[in-house]
Amino acid sequence: MNEINKDLIDFKNKYLKKWNDFMIKRHGKKFARRCDECTNCFNQGYVIDNGIEYYCSKKCLNKHYSDKDFNKMYDEGKGDSYYTEWECEEDFQYYEDGTEIMEEWNENKNH
């Protein structure tokens, strides 16, 4: 890695924390997913078809799928639809107001 790249990366990392604080102040806390029904952000909810759709609650899920449908899709854990909880901040994709968290931010979390 040459000097200029290193300086730029140092600069970027140094200001990511400030950027993060600024964005949270402006757009609210970070959340994992956004509900396709009510658009609320959430960290615990339903995943349909490995992420084609997301629903924050049973109420929102039931507007699209009955319990019977969902149980069939869930297939006792063998299906691609399930209820889950996201805990890892790297999986978080939205701020509270629905603004998407930039991909590059997520990459930089690891450095």
Segment interacting with Zn ion (CB under 5 A) among 14-22, 26-34, 51-59, 96-104: 51-59
Q: In angstroms, give the least distance from the CB of 36 to Zn ion.
A: 8
Name the one residue in this structure whose structure tokens are 């899920």: 61
Contacts to Zn ion from residues 19-48, by CB under 5 A:
35, 37-38
Contacts of residue 106, defined as CB under 8 A and 6 or more positions apart, other chains included, come to 90
Contacts of residue 19, defined as CB under 8 A and 6 or more positions apart, other chains included, come to 105
Which CB atom, from 52 or from 102, has the smaller least distance to Zn ion? Answer: 52
Which CB atom, from 37 or from 69, has the smaller least distance to Zn ion? Answer: 37
Q: In angstroms, give the least distance from the CB of 38 to Zn ion.
A: 3
State the CB neighbour count (10 A cutoff) for residue 21.
Answer: 10
State the CB neighbour count (10 A cutoff) for residue 80.
Answer: 13
Contact residues for Zn ion, defined by CB under 5 A = 35, 37-38, 56, 60
